[in-house]
Every structure is written in structure tokens, then in C-alpha cells.
């Protein structure tokens, strides 16, 4: 694996082939992802892997709940975003708009797509036990980073999905997860559709000058 190349190339996939990902490939992916570091080796992450008709059934429930509750994907901000964050979000919107399905708004595409895992054959739901404080969410972030890069090297597309945390109780009920587990994030996993227009946009990253302060 050329790690630096994978870091440069990987982008979120929102158009997947109708092709299942084999159990062996998924096990390899998770084995690689769980090589991620964690505080004092706690490895607080747990995974529910949902594929095929079970994934579609879960998505039907999530789409239904999303519409009932009128929940929408957003930045999760506690106050109005500073303009430079808004500008980054606008950059994604501008590159994606020409590639959206006809008659579909950006927000509807993101909301429905998130609940449907953008049609990926597999969804990986990552949970954490409520015995841990929010500090351990850092470890979840690290394992997700490992997961999406490992998937890229295995020829798989991914898209991390945060909207599903709004349906924590629904997901636990549908997947028979214990009450003490909490949904942190989902990751759509499948084979990238090379002909899907929505996979073509590449949003720019902010310059280091906008994000880094040097000392010493």
C-alpha cells in the first residue's frame, strides 16, 4: 500500500455498484482498521456490519424516521459558524450541485443518501459503550481514519455518515444492540461506481495557512 498516495486519492463515495462485498474482504478491512491506536489500548470501538437485504431494511427504517422527525444533516454547531467554515461548506456544495440527480436538492440528496448509505451494499455501524466518557470518541475518529484508508487500498469506496446518530434508539432496536451501546458514526462500504457522476466532484482542502499556527 502506498499510504501517501491513498491519503491524496481517497474521497467519499456517494455512488456504489450493485455488487456485494464478500465476508473475507470485510473481515480484512476490519482487521486492518482495528490496528489503530487507542488510549491505553482500550480499543473502545465496536462494529455492527449490515449487508444486503438487512442493510436495505435498516435504511427503510432510517429514511422513514428522518422524514417523520424532519431531521436534516448539518454541521452540529452550537452557535453560528464563522464565515471561513461556511466558505468550506459552500465549496463542497458548488462542486456537487452539477452532479446531483435531477429534481433533487442538495439537502434532500444528503439526507436521504445518508439514511440509505448512498446505496452501498454494506453499512458498518460503529458504537461505543456508555462506560466511556466522550474523550474516547477520539479513538473512534482514529479507527474511522484507518478504516477508510484501508478500504481504499482494498479497492473499496467509503463514505462516513454522521446523520444516523440521530436515530440511535431505532438502530439499536433494529440491530438488537444493547442499551448501553451508543451509535457514533456509520460508514458506507462498497465498490465505487466509476460511471456515477456524483463520484466525480473533488472538494478543495483549506490551505495550511488557514489551519496551522507555528510556534518555535
Is there a contact between 199 and 192 (Cβ–Cβ < 8 Å)? yes
- CA pair distance 33, 147, nearest whole angstrom: 4
What integer best gives the mean pLDDT of the chain? 96
Residue for grid cell 455492527:
48
Helix (H) or strand (E) holding 158: strand 157-161
- What pLDDT digit, counting tens, does each position of 130-186 carry? 999 999 999 999 999 999 999 999 999 999 999 999 999 999 999 999 999 999 999
Q: What is the pLDDT of residue 103?
A: 84
Q: What is the pLDDT of residue 18?
A: 95
Instruction: List 181's β-bridge partners, or say none.
Output: 129
- CA pair distance 43, 211, nearest whole angstrom: 29
3-state class (DSSP) for residue 35: coil
Domain regions of the chain by residue span: 3-198
Percent of the chain with pLDDT over 90: 93
HSE on the CB side for 2, CA within 13 Å?
Answer: 6
CATH 3.40.109.10 describes domain 3-198: yes
- What pLDDT digit, counting tens, does each position of 89-143 carry? 999 999 999 999 888 899 999 999 999 999 999 999 999 999 999 999 999 999 9
pLDDT exceeds 90 at position 74: no
Q: What is the pLDDT of residue 76?
A: 86
Amino acid at each position: 500500500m502506498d499510504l501517501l498516495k491513498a491519503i491524496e486519492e481517497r474521497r467519499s463515495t456517494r455512488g456504489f455498484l450493485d455488487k456485494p462485498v464478500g465476508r473475507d474482504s470485510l473481515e480484512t478491512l476490519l482487521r486492518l482498521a482495528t490496528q489503530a491506536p487507542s488510549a491505553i489500548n482500550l480499543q473502545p470501538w465496536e462494529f455492527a456490519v449490515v449487508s444486503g437485504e438487512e442493510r436495505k431494511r435498516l435504511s427503510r427504517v432510517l429514511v422513514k424516521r428522518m422524514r417523520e422527525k424532519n431531521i436534516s444533516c448539518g454541521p452540529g454547531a452550537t452557535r453560528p459558524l464563522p464565515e471561513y467554515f461556511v466558505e468550506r461548506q459552500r465549496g463542497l456544495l458548488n462542486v456537487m450541485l452539477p452532479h446531483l440527480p435531477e429534481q433533487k436538492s442538495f439537502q434532500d440528496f444528503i439526507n436521504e443518501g445518508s439514511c440509505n448509505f448512498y446505496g452501498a451494499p454494506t453499512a458498518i455501524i460503529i458504537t461505543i459503550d456508555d462506560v466511556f466518557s466522550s474523550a474516547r470518541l477520539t479513538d473512534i475518529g482514529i479507527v474511522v481514519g484507518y478504516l477508510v484508508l484501508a478500504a481504499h487500498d482494498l479497492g473499496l469506496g467509503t463514505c462516513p455518515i454522521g446523520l444516523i446518530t440521530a436515530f440511535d434508539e431505532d438502530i439499536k432496536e433494529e440491530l438488537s444492540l444493547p442499551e448501553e451501546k451508543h451509535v457514533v458514526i456509520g460508514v458506507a462500504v462498497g465498490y465505487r461506481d466509476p460511471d456515477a457522476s456524483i463520484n466525480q466532484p473533488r472538494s478543495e482542502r483549506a490551505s495550511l495557512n488557514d489551519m496551522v499556527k507555528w510556534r518555535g
